[in-house]
Amino acid sequence: MSTIESFNPSAWLRPPHIQTLLPRLVFRCRQWYGQWETFALNDGDFIELCWHPHATPDSQRPLVVLFHGLEGSVDSPYIWQTMEELAEHGIDSVVMHFRGCGKTPINRLPRAYHSGDIGDPTAVIVALRERYPNRSIHTIGFSLGGNMLVQLMSTELADVLTSAAVCCAPLDLMSCSKRIDRGFSRLYRKYLLTPLKQKFTIKQQRGMFKDCTQLNSLDVNKMTSFLEFDDKVTAPLHGFSDVEDYYHRASGKQFLKQIRKPTLIVHANDDPFLGPDVVPHIDEMNPHVTYEKHPHGGHMGFINYQHRFYSWLPTRLVNWVSEKEAEQL
């Protein structure tokens, strides 16, 4: 286990809920609009990409593809801060929004996205590889996007990538679903579950589930847990038999041993979203995996203070990308 560049916040910033909540409270809103691109998918649906405005499409600079967490977007502080940090180091970046998470909140098809959905990211990376054959491409995934990225890095697609970084990923979904049902973490559960239920209800009202009686008549407003929502909505909507089948097949930890390219995994030991089973044993990884578990950081926090609040995580990620890029030279 790596202890390089350990995150050590001031004592008053160490409580995990302070770390988790603080980014949304202290960081300004994103000050740049970005270059938006609608990306057509083969099933007739679409997703939206947002490029950092300093990205240069005709350059040979390294390119980083970012994948956000559940109901995240380019407006999530961990996304735009990392994109800004990359730009300062001469690295281009683009964030792929999962279906319904970009500027357009309702996608065209009944289906949405889930923790093991590598189809859309695969399509984007293949397209970018064809578009920019001479660029090196790195990937960074946060939370749900990180769990997905672990699985993607175990496939042949990883061969066209230079590296990956995975942050605060729920690598054991059942463990995390139970964890977020406890104590103060239930506040986060409500925050994340509410927009999922709202989007599902809008699709119901638009008749998008008319061919599926089970989903068309479902009342999601009464649901209070991810376990129930994933069992009644996420699993059947995306081809899983039930929530246990979904959580088993989509959990990223089982793919760590098959990872094919250098992959950094960053966890905080006090993450209020993640259950204990997300931590892999040494024999569940391979030499391509660099695992860091920091005592503090919360979920997507890693905030410190020195004359001002700042986020430690983007610097760690950019350093990783820079190191892996240098190794290619």
**DSSP notation for 88-140:** HTT-EEEEEEPTT-SSSSS-SSS----TT--HHHHHHHHHHHHH-TTS-EEEE
Question: So where are the chain's domains?
Answer: 11-173+251-326
> In whole angstroms, what is the distance from residue 209 CA to residue 276 CA?
36
Q: Which residues contact 128 (CB under 8 A, 6 or more apart)?
A: 63, 65, 94, 137
The residue among 66, 16, 67 whose CA lies nearest residue 180 is 16
pTM over 0.85: yes
Q: Which residues contact 308 (CB under 8 A, 6 or more apart)?
A: none
Q: Which residues contact 65 (CB under 8 A, 6 or more apart)?
A: 93, 94, 95, 96, 121, 124, 125, 128, 137, 138, 139, 140
- Six-digit token pair at 248? 């088993």
Which residue type, as a one-letter code, is found at position 318? V
Fold of 11-173+251-326: Rossmann fold (3.40.50)
For the chain, which residues score pLDDT lower than 50? Answer: 1-3
Per-residue pLDDT reduced to its tens digit, 147-173: 999 999 999 999 999 999 999 999 999
Per-residue pLDDT reduced to its tens digit, 70-96: 999 999 999 999 999 999 999 999 999
Which residue type, as a one-letter code, is found at position 194? T
The pLDDT value recorded for residue 2 is 41
The pLDDT value recorded for residue 219 is 95
* Residue reference for tokens 């050590």: 8
Which residues are the active-site residues? 143, 271, 299
Contact between 136 and 63 (Cβ < 8 Å)? yes
The pLDDT value recorded for residue 3 is 38
Distance of CA 109 to the CA centre of its chain: 22
